[in-house]
Structure 1
């Protein structure tokens, strides 16, 4: 036989690796999510989103690296797959609850308005989308920049007080605020 016949089979592609992970752990992940969310439909959606994110990440990582490296071959099959899935799904659960909290705050604010001033269904949908984009932008910021922004915009603190709270200089607070404002502007454009 030639050496080609003795060569190892090619490493499975990202879809196959994620497919194996899905087959082995989807049911378990679904149960884990149901316990946290209390809603089987939402749990099913977030379980699916978990695997979609893993696949998208894996495909993105593969496109950005040399194909065929050993690290690539094992990136989709972590040593502790359930811990890995819990990390990814846990972030999705946190995002889900943060979005619900934002929507509740929005609805509470609307409830204070006279009915004649309520936004139309289209305006309401646009506002919800903008809130979600802003939330995602803030979630992507470094922790100190996010905290500085929230302390300023939600709690009304001045930069000197924020600096003291965060244990940084006012110059750092200004830099954090610039980061946060830039992220917000980019999110709503």
Structure 2
């Protein structure tokens, strides 16, 4: 037993065995993607950067200030402030999401009765400081515009606006009648 170990140590058997594994792997095609150069296309329904959906008719946010998104959020990352305008009507003063606290569960998107919120399929975003990841209403609307500008298809419909398996009668009228958003028309209206 000791002689066999001595022979293995002298002839460096384990060392050559390790080198053979290294050389075999060097000649194989890599299994990883070279990320900055090769980008992966996200699957439909991927939960990425948050955005407020811009109403194509009024060109402002769709939010009706029901506060369901804030109530259902398990990480308490959504802040909503409702105020009154000069006509004493309710207006959305502030809507903000802290992306550093968000767990991307999608509850806020599912519970919204008018599909005003979306977790876009954008995964490339970062910030140098924490304040870069605190999205206010204007930033959330610009996230939506940026997402639509770079979206590859002609129509967009978020998977969570009409959850699979949900009976029709359980959906709000807005969710029942929601049509895919035509992207080219949307971009032309925002530009003008």
The two structures have a TM-score, normalised by structure 2, of 0.22
Q: Which has the larger radius of gyration?
A: 2
More strand per residue: 2
The structure, 1 or 2, with the larger RCO (C-alpha pairs under 8 Å, 6+ apart) is 2
